[in-house]
């Protein structure tokens, strides 16, 4: 996960700027990264606002609440539990980030023990920052998770409480069975068969992630860093996986007069406007359409089980080899992304996505239906307003998942047919089922 604050030499400056500098166009990231004594109009402290909302302390409506906090201000969220550190038993580390670590844990309550995951901010990170910054990051993520909990978002990770671990702030969430990234790398699947997942289930997981983004959009919130490592997988009914969004520390409120401006998305999944935020003075505005691009990249990787820049290298080798900067960039494409230096990775994507206008591509041999292929191509438009909505992407993914599942199932007997004839699905072009394809346009509306 990449944060501009890590590259900001003034991030640790404790000085308080003039109140008149505050602007409604500042993102929640801008405000929450400020120290608690940072003031906004009418002397309402940003940290105090969020702290009151978290603890269900009444906030005077007459106070000036910034627009990016409006959703949190209007929603009366359930009371959170402060879990004593003594009630947590941490074991293995499940994940590592630039500013936090996630641990497997058992949470001991009066009603019994509950498996959980504990995200600890600032503990054993490569670049330690002031504790206040980590506390504000926890508050930011808590505020979003509480709003999702109140709205009963089924595809956003469930918040269980908050605590401290060795003096560092921590949040406690439900424990997942796996991370989507584990199912999207072919070499990992070949080494560990337990990570095998059918195409239908992979598409369902991405569709669940899109539905989670839709649930956040309903709250005027955008995730800010949608990628396979932030999509958790649970075992659902009938053994089918269910996916939920996690790691919402980059999430912000989006309004017509307030857009994101900082580069928060993992670079490989960043929309063009999100990439430009790193290179433009003062950032670059981005909003909900950036989530469509990011989730479409996840969908492309779920289908191909390959990084999309690797797909470009495989399907357009002459374009890349004829590139004037091939000596620098082509070797980077063939390297594992986590081994490419961060600045080189940004430059690589800036060169191909911004300057060369490249888009993620899907090889023809993957043989997905034309409906999903057209939707994905629209998702990769460099003009945000030309991209489809999250709802359109969701419907296309669900429909393709049902087609893939039907084609993978063995033929079943049709009780209505004479003599119990075996009903063989009539396949059309691209091996699609004609019966199912007629139902694609009638896919049920996703629940808000």
The single residue listed with the structure tokens 């003009």 is 383
- How far is the C-alpha of 34 from the C-alpha of 423, rounded, in Å? 65
Report whether 223 contacts 245 (CB < 8 A): yes
The single residue listed with the structure tokens 């978002």 is 153
Q: 431: which DSSP letter?
A: G
- How far is the C-alpha of 410 from the C-alpha of 358, rounded, in Å? 40
Residues flagged as binding site for ATP? 119
173-204 in b/e burial notation, b at 16+ Cβ within 10 A?
bbbbebbbbbbbbeeebeeeeebebebbbbbb
- How far is the C-alpha of 108 from the C-alpha of 86, rounded, in Å? 9
CB atoms closer than 10 angstroms to residue 71: 20
Distances in Å between the Cα of 446 and the Cα atoms of 144, 265, 296, 392 are 21, 26, 18, 10
Residues flagged as binding site? 119
- How far is the C-alpha of 175 from the C-alpha of 158, rounded, in Å? 9
CB atoms closer than 10 angstroms to residue 370: 11
DSSP string, 42-75: GGEEHHHHHHHHHTT----TTS---GGGHHHHHS
**Alpha-carbon dihedral sign for residues 279, 276, 185, 323:** negative
Candidates 119, 207, 133; CA nearest to 164 is 119
Q: 396: which DSSP letter?
A: H
């Amino acid at each position: 996960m990449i944060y501009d604050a890590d590259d900001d030499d003034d991030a640790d400056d404790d000085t308080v700027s003039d109140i008149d500098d505050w602007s409604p166009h500042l993102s929640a990231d801008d405000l929450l990264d400020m120290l608690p004594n940072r003031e906004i109009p009418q002397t309402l402290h940003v940290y105090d606002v969020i702290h009151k909302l978290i603890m269900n302390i009444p906030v005077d409506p007459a106070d000036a609440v910034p627009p990016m906090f409006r959703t949190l201000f209007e929603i009366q969220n359930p009371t959170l539990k402060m879990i004593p550190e003594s009630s947590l038993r941490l074991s293995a580390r499940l994940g590592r980030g630039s500013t936090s670590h996630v641990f497997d844990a058992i949470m001991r309550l009066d009603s019994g023990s509950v498996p959980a995951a504990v995200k600890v901010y600032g503990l054993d990170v490569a670049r330690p920052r002031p504790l206040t910054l980590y506390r504000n990051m926890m508050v930011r993520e808590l505020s979003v998770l509480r709003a999702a909990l109140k709205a009963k978002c089924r595809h956003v990770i469930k918040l269980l409480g908050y605590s401290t671990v060795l003096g560092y702030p921590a949040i406690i969430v439900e424990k997942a069975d796996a991370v989507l990234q584990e199912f999207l790398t072919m070499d990992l699947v070949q080494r560990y068969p337990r990570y095998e997942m059918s195409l239908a289930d992979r598409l369902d997981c991405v569709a669940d992630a899109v539905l989670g983004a839709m649930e956040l959009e309903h709250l005027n919130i955008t995730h800010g860093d949608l990628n396979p490592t932030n999509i958790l997988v649970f075992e659902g009914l009938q053994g089918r996986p269910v996916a939920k969004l996690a790691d919402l520390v980059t999430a912000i409120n989006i309004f017509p007069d307030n857009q994101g401006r900082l580069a928060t998305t993992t670079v490989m999944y960043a929309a063009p406007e999100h990439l430009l935020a790193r290179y433009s003075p003062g950032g670059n505005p981005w909003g909900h359409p950036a989530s469509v691009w990011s989730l479409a990249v996840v969908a492309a990787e779920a289908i191909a089980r390959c990084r999309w820049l690797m797909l470009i290298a495989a399907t357009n080798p002459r374009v890349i080899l004829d590139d004037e900067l091939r000596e620098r960039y082509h070797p980077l494409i063939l390297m594992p992304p986590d081994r490419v230096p961060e600045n080189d990775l940004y430059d690589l994507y800036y060169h191909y996505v911004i300057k060369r206008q490249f888009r993620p591509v899907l090889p023809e041999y993957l043989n997905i239906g034309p409906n999903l292929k057209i939707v994905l191509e629209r998702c990769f438009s460099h003009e945000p307003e030309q991209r489809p909505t999250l709802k359109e992407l969701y419907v296309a993914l669900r429909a393709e998942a049902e087609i893939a599942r039907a084609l993978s199932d063995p033929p079943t007997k049709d009780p209505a047919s004479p003599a119990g004839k075996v009903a063989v699905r009539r396949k059309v072009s691209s091996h699609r089922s004609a019966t199912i394809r007629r139902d694609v346009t009638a896919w049920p509306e996703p629940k808000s």
